[in-house]
Amino acid sequence: MKRSPKGGTAPKIDIRGVASHARVSIATVSRTINHVPTVDPVLAARVWKAVAELNYFPNTQARALVSGKSKLLGLIVSEITNPFFPELISEFEQIAVARGYEILIGSTNYEPKTMELCARRMLERKVDGVAIMTFGVEEFLLDRFAADDIPVIFIDVASKQPRSSILAVDYRAGINEGVQHLAVLGHRKIAFISGPLKLRSAETRKNAFIECMRLAGLSVEQDWLIEGNHDLDSGRDAMQKILELPNWPTAVMCSNDMTAIGVQHALFEAKLRVPDDFSLIGFDDVHLAEYTIPPLTTVRMSCKDLAQAAVSSLLAHMQPTEGRAEAHSKTRIQTRLIVRQTTGLPRHALSGIVPRLHRKKRRR
């Protein structure tokens, strides 16, 4: 047992230490721990024994340097503070770690500047692949990754990039279910609070809503199409804006759950009730949605599916190009309505149509 002259630090064992301890060459140690099949079982056993005894583990940096693979996966999200993303991150992390990858998280906060910084960080750290879960990606970023030959997977509705794969979320299905659900209950006047429209997905959700309304034979009022920011505050603000309108909708759909929770809050403050005064539908189905008061009817988009598809696609594209995984893949992600308690009959559905008066009365 040697120790450095002064400090009480551990002997710092490396591959050489293991090699000498196991009486083999460092090459054999390397082969053994990398599970190269052509190693003599006897030597391998000696190596493993040495590894255990010395409590050795390879230096990731060195390995990365020589092999070119960092064993790092980038994960870019829009806002780590929105509960949907932690749920996604959590899934992503589990799968990645199980496969021997570490993950590097970047949160863009919807700011292009930050997004660029994130991308740069990923590039600098030489991630082996990136999942851009930010629902809307700038083309030039994809190019940057493509230039370094780094597999990218991102969320979109329609494919176009060559060297990348996409998760095609079918926003339409869920939103349509939502609109239909509302229509069946008797709602005709439905508002939609979108996410930041610079996000392609936010725009897509909004457009899906408009289309579905048309499909249901309902007209959409421009005043009831509000742009939010996918967070609690913006949901509240948007609803307050709606309440200032002379003409109220009877239901509101939101581009995500946080927005809906913000709406619930605005309604609470205005002493209006859900679903008696307004029906409400969210999007995402975060775990919290089950816990709002009342529990939120929402469109579920499984973050587990998203995470799983993302990691496995990335991993597939990282295989030494056998040509097969070359083509950019496309995975469908479904959405569907989860009915809870924020949707009900529109006010006075039974008693006729004199809502204006009542509304006035109720407004504080």
Partner DNA sequence: CTGAAAGCGCTAACAA
Partner DNA sequence: TTGTTAGCGCTTTCAG
Positions that interact with DNA (CB under 7 A)? 12, 14-16, 24-28, 30-31, 33-34, 38-40, 42-43, 58-59, 62-63, 65-67
| Tally of CA atoms within 13 A in the half-sphere of 135 that contains its CB | 27
**Interface with a second copy by CB under 8 A: which range of 89-97, 130-138, 308-316, 344-352?**
89-97
Which listed residue (15, 28, 31, 85) binds a second copy by CB under 8 A? 85
Which listed residue (232, 307, 310, 311) binds a second copy by CB under 8 A? 232
The verdict on 322 binding a second copy (CB under 8 A) reads: no
The verdict on 163 binding a second copy (CB under 8 A) reads: no
The verdict on 339 binding a second copy (CB under 8 A) reads: no
For residues 54 and 62, give the distance between their C-alpha atoms in angstroms, rounded to a whole number: 19
**Interface with a second copy by CB under 8 A: which range of 44-52, 96-104, 194-202, 345-353?**
96-104
**Min dist. Cβ of residue 234 to a second copy (A):** 12
**Min dist. Cβ of residue 240 to a second copy (A):** 14
Tell me how many residues contact a second copy (CB under 8 A): 49
User: 56 or 171: whose CB is closer to DNA?
Assistant: 56
Q: What is the 3-state secondary structure (H, E, C) of the chain?
A: CCCCCCCCCCCCCCHHHHHHHHCCCHHHHHHHHCCCCCCCHHHHHHHHHHHHHHCCCCCHHHHHHHHCCCCEEEEEECCCCCCHHHHHHHHHHHHHHHCCCEEEEEECCCCHHHHHHHHHHHHHCCCCEEEEECCCCCHHHHHHHHHCCCCEEEEECCCCCCCCEEEEECHHHHHHHHHHHHHHHCCCCEEEEECCCCCHHHHHHHHHHHHHHHHCCCCCCHHHEEECCCCHHHHHHHHHHHHCCCCCCCEEEECCHHHHHHHHHHHHHCCCCCCCCCEEEEEECCHHHHHCCCCCEEEEECHHHHHHHHHHHHHHHHCCCCCHHHCCCEEEECEEEECCCCCCCCCCCCCCCCHHHHHHHHCC
User: 26 or 64: whose CB is closer to a second copy?
Assistant: 64
User: 85 or 154: whose CB is closer to a second copy?
Assistant: 85
97 binds, among DNA, a second copy, none (CB under 5 to 8 A by kind): a second copy
Which listed residue (35, 41, 42, 57) binds a second copy by CB under 8 A? 57
User: 126 or 265: whose CB is closer to DNA?
Assistant: 126
Task: Give helix 112-124 / helix 139-147 axis angle, nearest 10°.
Answer: 10
The verdict on 61 binding a second copy (CB under 8 A) reads: yes
Which listed residue (287, 330, 332, 358) binds a second copy by CB under 8 A? 287
The verdict on 143 binding a second copy (CB under 8 A) reads: no
User: 24 or 130: whose CB is closer to DNA?
Assistant: 24
For residues 256 and 179, give the distance between their C-alpha atoms in angstroms, rounded to a whole number: 15
The verdict on 195 binding a second copy (CB under 8 A) reads: no
Contacts with a second copy by CB under 8 A lie at 9-10, 57, 59-62, 64-65, 70, 80-81, 83, 85-87, 89-90, 93, 97, 102-105, 107, 117, 121, 123-126, 147-149, 232, 236, 261-262, 264-265, 268, 287-288, 290-295
